[in-house]
Copies of this chain bind each other. A is one copy, B any other.
Amino acid sequence: MSFSRSDVHNFAAGPSPLPTPVLEEAAKGLLNYKGTGMGICELSHRSKEFEAIIFGAEANLRKLLSIPDNYSVLFAQGGATTQFSSTLLNILAYRRMQHKADTSYTPPPVDYVVTGTWSAKAHQEAQRLCMPPQPGAEPLAHPRIAATTKPTKYTTLPKADEYSFSPDAAMVYYCENETINGIEYPLDQSSPCAFPYDKIPEGVPLVGDYSSSFISRPIPHLERHAVIHAGVQKNLGPAGVTVIIVRNDYLVDTTEAMKLGGIPPVPIQNEYKILADNQSLYNTPPVFAIYVSALVLEYLLAKGGIENLEKTNREKARVLYETLEKAEAAGTVRMVVREKDARSWMNVVWEQVGEGANEKFLKGADGKGFRQLKGHRSVGGIRASLYNAVTVESVQGLSEYIDGFSA
């Protein structure tokens, strides 16, 4: 059976849907980019054509997110998994350089806020990389947990008094949106679930994983962050490129830092500074992923900027959560995240009540063209991801289906 794009409502968690006009443009560019006679993947990344694309993408990101001039915007290969390492490695190099003249450099604490699988993995990776260089020696740093919602199985967000930050942490790391359970820090800073930006100790770098909500709404307190990283394959482009926003004073020559000793070595591909010095063209970048992301940025800017995106995404989430709450009251649905303020706009997660209900729901949904609704393999259930390219209409359609579904 064959479907057209208009037959299908794609709720994938990532890779995720892309706007049809962007894909149509990209399909042309794939064969012949702007009458060069060569496709975008066949041009040098150092051509004036590609440079215009990547510099244009950077300019548009700056515009969309109001990124201050003292931040660099980088495009890196690898996804969040690479950034679990890169954030730690660059920040420790920065820390080491800060203590350059210090004869008493001691391995610092590194604070992780663990609210789901991805922040847990980041913490785990820090433990790996900071392992003692010899058995019995001291670790290179002390990754610790500043707050965790593991006791609630990552179905809540910590409250303000549940965070305990090290006054001298090398960084505080958090994940703004955890995709598996659909946990997202609320935009509303007065919420009890809000991320406690004000509690970050003075001078401690703040690092945020914004992979799954990037460009869906503004970034709160962007200027308080040292680093923000975001794989693009949720709201911005195809898999293969990660955007890194890093304040320029955190860019360090990791080779110089490594010479001081006491930090994990930094593979050159992980270093932020060399990427920044080369405007992301240190080596061959993921050209096609950057190209499509650049097209998406133009498309989104033409639709009105970040306020408009926030408005639309807020509405999509509202429609779906309202429907689910109604169904929960009727006993057919169980929400995974009970705290309303912690509910993600990007990933809406629930279970259909009753034996075999999830499978029946998914089958029926599929029959109506609602695709990729299966929950993450680690938790099962249902997950509708509502990234930028998912329309309000698709969400309304799904809501009607939920309304009418009985197991």
Contacts and interface: CB of A to CB of B under 8 A. Distances in A.
B14 A284 contact: yes
A12 interface: yes
A115 interface: no
A125 B31 contact: no
Interface string A266-282: 11111000000000001
Protomer copies: 2
Contacts of A267: 82, 85-86, 89, 125, 129, 267, 270
A261 interface: yes
Contact of A41 (B1, B134, B292): B292
Interface string A18-47: 101001101110111001111101111111
B284 A79 contact: yes
Interface centre among A31, A41, A79, A369 (most CB of B within 10 A): A41
Interface centre among A79, A137, A262 (most CB of B within 10 A): A79
A240 interface: yes
Given A77-B79, A77-B82, A287 B44 contact: no
A218 interface: no
Contact of A31 (B14, B27, B32, B240): B27
Interface of A: 1-8, 10, 12-18, 20, 23-24, 26-28, 30-32, 35-39, 41-47, 77-82, 84-86, 89, 125, 128-135, 137, 231, 233, 237-241, 255, 258-262, 264-270, 282-289, 292, 369, 371-372, 377
Q: Top 7 closest A-B pairs, CB basis?
A: A3-B37, A8-B37, A2-B35, A85-B267, A41-B238, A240-B286, A134-B261
